[in-house]
Every structure is written in C-alpha cells, then in structure tokens.
Amino acid sequence: MECWPDGYAISCKLPLADGTPYPHQGEFYFADRQVNQNTGAIQLAALFANPGNVLRPGQYGKVRAVIRVQRNALLIPQAAVNEQQGSYVVDVVGNDGKVAVRTVQVGDRTGTMWVIQDGLKAGERVIVEGQENLKPGTPVQTKAFKADVQAQ
C-alpha cells in the first residue's frame, strides 16, 4: 500500500499480489501507536472501495507511506556520504579539479539516495567511488556517475 498526501487527506494505492495496481484509490484510516516488539512494525489501515469483492477481510499488504514531500531536495548517492566521528562528510571536487572534504547535514534516505539538508549546493560535484585513496587537495579526473534513482 502506498499512501500519498493529497491536501490534508492521505490517499493510498494498493499493489495486488501479482504486482498490478488495485484500480480504486484508498484513504488512510488508522495508525496504531504501538510498535510490535518482534517486528518493529506499526499497524496502519486504509479504506478502499471493493466492488467485485477482490479484497478480502484480514488481508495484509506492504506499506509505503509518504509522510512528507520535500520539493527541490538535494539528493546524492548514499555511497558518497561517509560518517566520521559522529558527523557526515562528502568529498567534493572544486572548480580547480582538486578534492575538498565538506561536512554535511544529512536528512532522510530515499531509495539509494540521501537528502542533504546543508553543506552542499546544487550542481557541486561529489565523489561517489574511490574516496578511500583521496586526501584534501588531491587533483582528480572525474567521470559522470550513473545512479539508479528511484527517489521521488
């Protein structure tokens, strides 16, 4: 079940077992506050129209809920972000072609990407592979990184 904010209401989409989307959009109904100690899951419920009785009582589905939409977010591959002593750093290639280490503030992860809240600007080049051999001021030659972006 995918839930998307639509104004104040959250509308939900439900993929069926064969992967096809259920043709009727649902509406978020209920969220339990109790976390299951064994699975870490929280029970959520949505209401769907059910002409033809395709859906049966007691069925479950995997939930993907959008809790926030952040427009124009700066996303970089998770592989570009390194944790060092409790802070996060990214190797950036400057206009002079040399490496600089930049401390960044990370946000949510989405797919294989990480939202960067602060410390980078759009258009700056980050190093995704080979960071372990770099030092600040090292000249590098870069090539484009092809990410499999599934973020929305």
* Three-state SS at 47: strand
pLDDT in tens, 80-96: 999 988 899 999 999 89
Cα-trace Rg, the chain: 21
Q: For residues 46 and 30, what is the distance between their CA atoms, to the nearest angstrom?
A: 7
pLDDT above 90: percentage of residues in the chain: 26
Write down the domain spans for the chain: 2-65, 75-133
* pLDDT classification of 151: cutoffs 50, 70, 90: very low
Whole-number pLDDT of residue 16: 80
Q: Distance of alpha carbon 109 from its chain centroid, rounded?
A: 4
Q: How many Å from the N-terminal Cα to the C-terminal Cα in the chain?
A: 16
Closest Cα to residue 65, out of 94, 82, 91, 43?
A: 43
Q: For residue 130, give Cα distances in angstroms to 3, 76, 79, 82, 126.
A: 38, 16, 10, 12, 11
Please give the class, per CATH, of domain 75-133: mainly beta
